[in-house]
Amino acid sequence: MNKKADIWVSAVIYIALGITIITILLTAGLPVIEKIRDKNTYAQTKDVMHELDNTIREVYREGPGARRTSLIRIDRGEFTIDKDIDRIIWNMDTEIMFSEPGTPPLKEGNLQITTTASNVEGEYTTEVLLDYRGIIDLTGTLGTLSGNYNLLISNEIENGNSVIRIEDIS
C-alpha cells in the first residue's frame, strides 16, 4: 500500500513542479513576446503607410481619372484618414520607444514619427503621420480603420480642384 501512495505523491509533486516551471516561463516570456509583437506591428504599419503614400502621390501626379487599389492591413492601433485636415495618422500605445519622447518628429521619407510619454509609467504613444496639408486634398467616406481593407484611390475633380478620393471597396 505504501508503494501506491508513494507513486501518487511523486506524480502530484512532478505535476506541481511542471506547472510552476511553465508559469515562471510564461511570466518571463510574455512581456518579451509582446514587445516583439509591437515592433513587428510598427514595422508592418510603416510599410503600409509608405505604400499608401506612394500610391496617393502617383495617382495625384497622373491627374484626374487616375485610379489605383491598395490593400492595407491594420492589426493594432488606430489608423485614421482625416479628410478634413488632409492627414493619415496611425497611433499605437506600447512599452517601446520608437523615437525619443519630446523631440521633433523623426522623418522617414514622407512619414513623421513621434513618440510621447503616456500617463502610465513605462508606456508610450507612437504616432506615424502622413501630412498632405497644402499639397494634396483628401476626400472620401473613411474615418478610423482596423482590420483588412481594399482601398480605391482615385483622382477626381471637385469644385474645379483635383482631389484624392479614398474609399473602401472590400
Q: pLDDT tens-digit profile of 16-36? A: 999 999 988 888 888 888 888
How are strands ordered across the β-sheet holding 87-94?
A: 106-108, 111-117, 124-131, 87-94, 67-82, 144-158, 161-168, 138-140
Per-residue pLDDT at 146 exceeds 80 = no
Reported as a single tens digit per residue, the pLDDT across 45-87 is 889 899 999 999 999 988 889 999 988 888 888 888 888 888 8
Residues in CB range of 102: below 8 A, 6 or more apart: 116, 117
Q: What is the pLDDT of residue 1?
A: 53
Residue entry with cell 504599419: 45
What pTM was estimated for this model as a whole? 0.77
In the structure grid, which three cell numbers stand for residue 128, read together? 506615424
Reported as a single tens digit per residue, the pLDDT across 154-164 is 988 887 788 88
Residues in CB range of 140: below 8 A, 6 or more apart: 81, 83, 165, 166, 167
Q: Where are the domains of the chain?
A: 46-168
